[in-house]
Amino acid sequence: MAIPPEPGGRQKNVTPQAPVDVVATIKMVAEQLQHHAEQRGIDVELARSFEGGKIKGTAQALAEALQNLIWNAMEATAPGGLVRVAVRKQGETVVIDVSDDGPGIGREHLSKIFQHGYTTKPGAKGMGLSIVERRLGELLGSITWESPLNHGHGSRFTLTLPLIPPPDAPATEVSVPTDPL
């Protein structure tokens, strides 16, 4: 399933956009959540197959989307389990997978998980995935998900964000036909 970014929309107090280092932001979020993972007895693994890609937006928007996804994955994972964050380049985009080996999301919940206030966790507010969706819209990104993954367990959420071309990228040549005189 995929949720495309929502077009338009007004925002108050918009923060200026600038190049955001994706890998540095992922590392920062993982470090911030490390204490919670240790308390729960969960390993958080970062796997990356590329370095240094930048997206247009704010580090705050990317960090908030990642914090909510990783937090949800940790909450779904039992002690001794694994949350994996993988980042790779795919064409002109960066792809970030956040996966866990928790119980997975029941089919009856899949169509509702991005609704503001929807939760299956006692005491939770059900805001995490709606925040992820909103923040991805700000970053012109999209999200897909799959659950369950393996033998009825686990979930994977995949963020896809457009990369800023590097400044030394060759310009695309355009040939313009000329009219014969």
pLDDT confidence of residue 148: 78
CB 155 within 8 A of CB 145: yes
pLDDT confidence of residue 170: 60
Average pLDDT over residues 97-112: 79
β-pairing, 43-48 vs 82-90, is parallel
- What letters, b where the CB count within 10 A reaches 16 and e where it falls short, cover 51-86? eebbbebbbebbbbbbbbbbbbbbbbbeeebebbbb
Higher pLDDT, 61 or 148: 61
pLDDT at 176 over 60: no
Average pLDDT over residues 103-109: 74
The CATH homologous superfamily of the domain defined by 41-162: Histidine kinase-like ATPase, C-terminal domain (3.30.565.10)
Kindly report, residue by residue over 153-174, the tens digit of the pLDDT.
888 999 999 999 877 666 555 4
CB 131 within 8 A of CB 1: no
In whole angstroms, give the CA distance from residue 56 to residue 1.
25
Structure tokens given for 15: 């923060």
pLDDT at 113 over 80: no
Backbone angles phi, psi at 67, to 5 degrees: -55, -45
Q: Supply the DSSP symbol for 121.
A: S
Domain ranges of the chain: 41-162
pLDDT at 13 over 60: no
In whole angstroms, give the CA distance from residue 63 to residue 55.
12
- Residue 65's nearest CA partner among 2, 139, 144 is 139
Kindly report, residue by residue over 83-92, the tens digit of the pLDDT.
999 999 999 9
- Where residue 46 falls (left for φ over 0; alpha for ψ -120 to 50; beta otherwise) is beta
pLDDT confidence of residue 3: 45
pLDDT at 47 over 60: yes
Prediction pTM value: 0.78
Q: Supply the DSSP symbol for 87.
A: E
CB 143 within 8 A of CB 151: no
